[in-house]
């Protein structure tokens, strides 16, 4: 049942001075990949596989009354105060013989220094819209939300004038080391598409996901995990919120880079001209991309950062209201799996949760009579970490001259774990077809 925690929300709202226009951009490594979704299917094994980043209090069930900042003992994110959890579906390559292999992930442009193992890049913006009566608040404890629908397989039922819904979840097709977009807002560039790119992308594919930034000011969650929030009207930046959701909250954006480079040779591509990638929710179109967020910053740390970290380039070490950790420490924070099944690093015959590939355009349907594991084990089972992939672009700035959003390579001292994984160039996992 939906809980309306109006009084709680009212107590913890923090308002901001309008002069600040904060911007944070930081990497989070993989915490775990497993069929957990404490937002949509609390207490049950999720129908499909997710990659999760953030604090290690992530669990099958997460009560909104939990203080994730207190419960987590580590986080995979650059800022140690960020014990939130963020998760998305993962991408698989579908072999012509019907087997699936998880597509590895690689570090984003300027996500270092250091190579994160899997995960994503997270952005927080303080919305800058300056209209009348604009109220901007940080997230209250227990706040959570989702964007996108795992069942969607078309854009045809979205109003063509609804620019924010149409561009909230996109894929960028990277041409080599080029960051792409040519100055367009991410999601609107020539290399960005709502569906999977239908051509090979020599530098890999990046998911670009904008979360809603307008809130009803009352509900920490809603039945579909979306109705209590909304995108702004017309654009993602400098745009008004609708009257139904008048409160501006920190604007979260995430990027996930999929290393599709090993799958670019023509023999890996279906003869019918379709593309070979599917999301773990059985989606070969890409329209079913989705992401989830559970707020979990320690104390008032996000509020402090939004109030003071208005350096225009988002570089983590410039946000002195927060504490950074090095990439090895991020990579060492792990949760073990509790659903015992093979999901990655080898070909599997079915997608985890036995999701059939459903290409639409109708909404996908749930699967029954699935023989996949539906129970968890009590103790976490450690798994091997993702490989450290060296991306085709730099992850930090080696020059002494400051560059937008590019942390200096010596800006965070590295500690190297004794058992540290050594980087590989590109995973040489594909040898035969």
Ligand X SMILES: *[C@@H]1O[C@H](CO)[C@@H](O)[C@H](O)[C@H]1NC(C)=O
CB of 52 to ligand X, least distance (A): 12
CB of 23 to ligand X, least distance (A): 26
Cα-based distances in Å from 1 to 4, 221, 223, 250: 10, 11, 8, 27
Neighbours of 128 (CB within 10 A): 17
Q: Under rule CB under 6 A, which residues in 50-69 are in contact with ligand X?
A: 57, 59, 61
Residue number with CB closer to ligand X (269 or 313)? 269
Closest residue to ligand X: CB criterion: 193
What is the C-alpha to C-alpha distance for residues 269 and 249, in angstroms, rounded to an integer?
A: 42
User: Which of 7, 17, 97, 422 forms a contact with ligand X (CB under 6 A)?
Assistant: 97
Beta-sheet strands, E only, within 262-333: 277-279, 291-294
What is the C-alpha to C-alpha distance for residues 106 and 86, in angstroms, rounded to an integer?
A: 17
Q: Under rule CB under 6 A, which residues in 156-175 are in contact with ligand X?
A: 175
What is the C-alpha to C-alpha distance for residues 28 and 36, in angstroms, rounded to an integer?
A: 18
Residue number with CB closer to ligand X (10 or 176)? 176
310's tokens = 């208005």
How many chain residues touch ligand X (CB under 6 A)?
19
Burial (CB count <10 Å: 0-12, 13-18, 19+), residue 416: exposed
- Is residue 193 at the binding interface for ligand X, with CB under 6 A as the rule? yes
User: Which of 4, 12, 20, 71 forms a contact with ligand X (CB under 6 A)?
Assistant: 71
- Is residue 197 at the binding interface for ligand X, with CB under 6 A as the rule? yes
- Is residue 411 at the binding interface for ligand X, with CB under 6 A as the rule? no
User: Which of 132, 156, 366, 371 forms a contact with ligand X (CB under 6 A)?
Assistant: 132
CB of 86 to ligand X, least distance (A): 17
CB of 147 to ligand X, least distance (A): 20
Stretch that binds ligand X, among 93-101, 158-166, 213-221, 358-366 (CB under 6 A): 93-101
CB of 321 to ligand X, least distance (A): 27
Could you tell me which of 77, 60, 59 has the C-alpha nearest to residue 68?
A: 59
- Is residue 195 at the binding interface for ligand X, with CB under 6 A as the rule? yes
Cα-based distances in Å from 114 to 86, 145, 237, 389: 21, 30, 30, 11
Beta-sheet strands, E only, within 246-301: 247-248, 251-258, 277-279, 291-294
What is the C-alpha to C-alpha distance for residues 117 and 396, in angstroms, rounded to an integer?
A: 16
- Is residue 98 at the binding interface for ligand X, with CB under 6 A as the rule? yes
CB of 134 to ligand X, least distance (A): 9
CB of 196 to ligand X, least distance (A): 7
Residue number with CB closer to ligand X (59 or 308)? 59
CB of 133 to ligand X, least distance (A): 4
User: Which of 1, 7, 19, 133 forms a contact with ligand X (CB under 6 A)?
Assistant: 133
What is the C-alpha to C-alpha distance for residues 74 and 370, in angstroms, rounded to an integer?
A: 35
Could you tell me which of 297, 92, 122, 105 has the C-alpha nearest to residue 211?
A: 122
- Is residue 244 at the binding interface for ligand X, with CB under 6 A as the rule? no
Could you tell me which of 94, 135, 132 has the C-alpha nearest to residue 272?
A: 94
- Is residue 379 at the binding interface for ligand X, with CB under 6 A as the rule? no
- Is residue 198 at the binding interface for ligand X, with CB under 6 A as the rule? yes
Pattern 1-40, binding to ligand X, x per CB under 6 A?
Answer: ----------------------------------------
CB of 304 to ligand X, least distance (A): 26
Residue number with CB closer to ligand X (133 or 422)? 133
What is the C-alpha to C-alpha distance for residues 123 and 11, in angstroms, rounded to an integer?
A: 26
Cα-based distances in Å from 112 to 23, 78, 143, 395, 414: 17, 9, 29, 5, 10
- Is residue 188 at the binding interface for ligand X, with CB under 6 A as the rule? no
User: Which of 12, 40, 64, 95 forms a contact with ligand X (CB under 6 A)?
Assistant: 95
- Is residue 347 at the binding interface for ligand X, with CB under 6 A as the rule? yes
Name every residue whose Cβ is closer than 8 Å to that of residue 345 and which is 6 or more positions away in sequence. 102, 384, 429
Cα-based distances in Å from 312 to 252, 396, 400: 16, 17, 18
312's tokens = 């225009």
The residues of the shown chain that bind ligand X, judged by CB under 6 A, are 57, 59, 61, 71, 95, 97-99, 132-133, 175-176, 193, 195, 197-199, 347, 432
């Amino acid at each position: 049942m939906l809980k309306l925690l109006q009084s709680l929300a009212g107590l913890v709202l923090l308002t901001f001075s309008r002069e600040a226009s904060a911007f944070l951009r930081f990497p989070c490594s993989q915490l775990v990949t497993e069929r957990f979704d404490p937002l949509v299917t609390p207490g049950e094994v999720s129908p499909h596989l997710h990659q999760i980043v953030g604090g290690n209090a992530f669990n099958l069930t997460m009560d909104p009354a939990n203080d994730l900042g207190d419960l987590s003992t580590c986080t995979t994110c650059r800022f140690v105060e960020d014990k939130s959890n963020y998760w998305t579906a993962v991408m698989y390559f579908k072999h012509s013989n019907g087997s699936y292999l998880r597509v590895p992930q690689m570090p984003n442009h300027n996500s270092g220094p250091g190579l994160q193992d899997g995960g994503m890049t997270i952005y927080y913006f303080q919305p800058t819209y300056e209209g009348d009566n604009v109220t901007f608040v940080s997230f209250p404890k227990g706040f959570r939300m989702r964007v996108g629908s795992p069942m969607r397989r078309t854009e045809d039922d979205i109003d063509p004038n609804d620019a924010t819904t149409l561009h909230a979840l996109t894929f960028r097709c990277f041409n080599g080391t080029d960051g792409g977009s040519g100055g367009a807002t991410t999601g609107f560039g020539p290399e960005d598409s709502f569906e999977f790119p239908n051509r090979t992308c020599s530098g890999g594919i990046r998911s670009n996901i904008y979360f809603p930034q307008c809130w009803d000011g009352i509900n920490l969650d809603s039945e579909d995990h979306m109705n209590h929030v909304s995108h702004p009207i017309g654009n993602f930046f400098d745009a008004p919120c609708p009257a139904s959701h008048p409160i501006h909250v920190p604007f979260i954006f995430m990027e996930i880079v999929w290393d599709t480079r090993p799958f670019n040779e023509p023999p890996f591509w279906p003869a019918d001209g379709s593309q070979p990638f599917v999301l773990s929710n059985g989606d070969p179109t890409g329209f079913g991309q989705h992401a989830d967020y559970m707020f979990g910053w320690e104390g008032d740390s996000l509020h402090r950062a939004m109030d003071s970290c208005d350096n225009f380039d988002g570089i983590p070490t410039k946000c002195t209201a927060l504490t950074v950790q090095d990439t090895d420490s991020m990579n060492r924070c792990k949760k073990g799996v509790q659903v015992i099944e093979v999901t990655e690093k080898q070909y599997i015959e079915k997608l985890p949760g036995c999701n059939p590939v459903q290409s639409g355009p109708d909404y996908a349907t749930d699967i029954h009579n699935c023989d996949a594991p539906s129970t968890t084990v009590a103790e976490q089972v450690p798994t091997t970490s993702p490989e450290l992939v060296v991306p085709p672009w730099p992850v930090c700035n080696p020059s002494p001259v400051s560059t937008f959003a590019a942390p200096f390579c010596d800006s965070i001292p590295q500690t190297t774990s004794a058992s540290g994984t050594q980087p590989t160039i590109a995973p040489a996992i594909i040898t035969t077809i």
